[in-house]
Structure 1
Amino acid sequence: MRLEDFDNDEDKVIQDRLKQKTWNEIRTNDSWAIFKIMAEFVNGYEAMGRIGPCVSIFGSARTKPEEHFYLLAEKIAFRISKAGYGVITGGGPGIMEAGNKGAHLGGGTSVGLNIELPFEQHYNPYIDRDKNLNFDYFFVRKVMFVKYSQGFVVMPGGFGTLDEMFEAITLIQTKKVAKFPVILVGREFWAGLIDWVKAVLVEKYKTVSPGDMDLIRIVDTEDEVVEVLDNFYKKYTLSPNF
């Protein structure tokens, strides 16, 4: 495809950028970006190290406050905070807001790892004042989610939610991080994906081991979420953040 073949506004923006930048300029910018990336890691480690481990809640930014899964995420976060766990979300609207709101109402730690996006993302008002972190790089943000989480609650969401979920599962499966519970909420929502993973990846192509499916738990209620977390920590004689 030639640059002249671009025919919509977004493609014209890309075309203009390609015309403006030489590869030498791109390489120079990439080198200096290393320092910005390092700064994000240092700031993130220092802030999250003081907060301590929590449970991460992932889910769609598009979920409205009156919808079932928003209300359920709020209840789950409330119960998690009452059980002694802090809550980490992406800091934005939708499920993220519900998670921070539930933690706030439960008197627990409420952390937001925010990132600037062209749509959907903005701060929600239920994050603790000193626990609202902002990131430019998705990969740095995901490191903070995984490094400081003692469990992952995955509500219905889109590509970003799937990315975060599979990142956590992959790191646990490859033993790059400790084995923490990955809890998918909403059997009806997740059934098709899980059935496909079992039928295609596990059984037909054998690209996933059958035992790896044991890393995932699927539930429907806040009681089940707390039960999975409590059973895990009782089994491994760990304790939440009292």
Structure 2
Amino acid sequence: MTEEEKKLSRRFYKAEQEAGFVEKHTSHTAQTISPSYKLAFHDTEFLLREELRPVRFQLELLKTEMLMEEAGIGSMLVCYGSARIPAPEQVEAKLAAAQTPEEKAIAQRLAANAKYYDEARKLARIASQCAIVEKGMRQFVICSGGGPSIMEAANRGAAEVHAETIGLNIVLPHEQAPNPYVTPRLAFQFHYFALRKMHFLLRARAVAVFPGGFGTFDEFFELLTLIQTGKMKPIPILLFGKDFWNRVVNFEALVEEGVINRADLDLFTFVEHAEDAWKKITGFYGIDCPPLEG
């Protein structure tokens, strides 16, 4: 059926048309200005009621899913990582701002991990330059949490080669905004962490995990759990920074304590460089697209 035939066969007005009728023809009386008279989907106060939480869950799931589909996003290369690790050009300022011995020690650790900003940026650039399209849908589109630091690096790398890039931002009590490298039409904002994490993985074809804190741990371990328990098919999980991860998580101890199997350690692969990560991804899927120069 053509679009014209669909229009002719439609028996009822669309919601947006009905809303227009209300705006144009409703007179202001005691009845019409009452909150109860508002169309339910135009009534923000009603939508924000506690009882409407299931509806808001559905809206957060549907909005991002529909817009991703319309944008032709077939799959994503998701990048998790810290919001605190500085870009290499910010290292000197970070070190200079540290005052106490503890602050200086922390600043030095963050500075040492600044190299992963460059690796995230490079990985995004490599994947985006390949511009893989399957069945009319774009594959391995770079997606991050849309914030600063490692997230910014991933979006920045894609933007530098003129590729669209996704940011899944979250509303927080303190100021939070997407980094400037996220493609505007692919900048999404979430209220629920659960729905945000779901969207990270719905289209994830590979995940790169860089050094990070609680948020990164949460995302990384949920992904491991989903694959370990068979709720999700295996995908390449590239863990950047073997020294960092082995220092903050004793994976071997988990095996020794019997709470995971040794085979579970094969769910992820340690890497140090973007080129190695991309080779693991392309090898997993049998894709011929070597890293490009520049």
What TM-score results when the alignment is normalised by the length of structure 2? 0.66
* CA deviations over 1:144-193 (Å, ceiling 9, x no partner): 00111101100111000010001111111112122101111112211224
Matched, 1:202 2:255: yes
Following superposition, the deviation at residue 49 of structure 1 comes to: 2.7
Counterpart mapping for 1:45-194 below 5 A: 45-50=65-70, 51-66=73-88, 67-84=114-131, 85-119=140-174, 121-194=176-249
Following superposition, the deviation at residue 32 of structure 1 comes to: 1.7
What runs of 5+ residues in structure 1 fail to find an aligned partner?
1-27
Report what 1:35 is aligned to: 55
Q: Is the 8 A contact 1:153 1:182 kept in 2?
A: yes
Q: Is the 8 A contact 2:116 2:150 kept in 1?
A: yes
* CA deviations over 1:61-88 (Å, ceiling 9, x no partner): 1122223221221111111212332101
Identity %: 35
Following superposition, the deviation at residue 109 of structure 1 comes to: 3.1
Partner Cα distance (2:164, 2:273) in 1: 22
Q: 1:120 to 1:157 in 2, by over 3 A?
A: farther
Q: 1:110 to 1:171 in 2, by over 3 A?
A: same
Q: 1:171 to 1:49 in 2, by over 3 A?
A: farther
Report what 2:284 is aligned to: 232
Q: What one-letter code is carried by the residue in structure 1 that aligns with 2:245?
A: W
* CA deviations over 1:189-228 (Å, ceiling 9, x no partner): 112245x1222x2112x11111111011001001111111
* CA deviations over 1:10-54 (Å, ceiling 9, x no partner): xxxxxxxxxxxxxxxxxx954221111111111121122332211
Following superposition, the deviation at residue 238 of structure 1 comes to: 10
RMSD: 1.9
SS at match of 2:270: strand
Structure 1: which 4+ aligned runs deviate by more than 4 Å? none
Q: What one-letter code is carried by the residue in structure 1 that aligns with 2:196?
A: R
Q: Is the 8 A contact 1:93 1:121 kept in 2?
A: no
Q: 1:45 to 1:119 in 2, by over 3 A?
A: same
What runs of 5+ residues in structure 2 fail to find an aligned partner?
1-47, 89-113, 132-139, 290-294
Q: What one-letter code is carried by the residue in structure 1 that aligns with 2:172?
A: L
Q: What one-letter code is carried by the residue in structure 1 that aligns with 2:270?
A: I
Q: What one-letter code is carried by the residue in structure 2 that aligns with 1:89?
A: S
Q: Which has the larger radius of gyration?
A: 2
Q: Is the 8 A contact 2:76 2:143 kept in 1?
A: yes
Q: What one-letter code is carried by the residue in structure 2 that aligns with 1:233?
A: Y
**Count of matched residue pairs:** 207
Q: Is the 8 A contact 2:282 2:288 kept in 1?
A: no
Report what 2:106 is aligned to: none
Q: Is the 8 A contact 1:91 1:113 kept in 2?
A: yes
What TM-score results when the alignment is normalised by the length of structure 1? 0.80
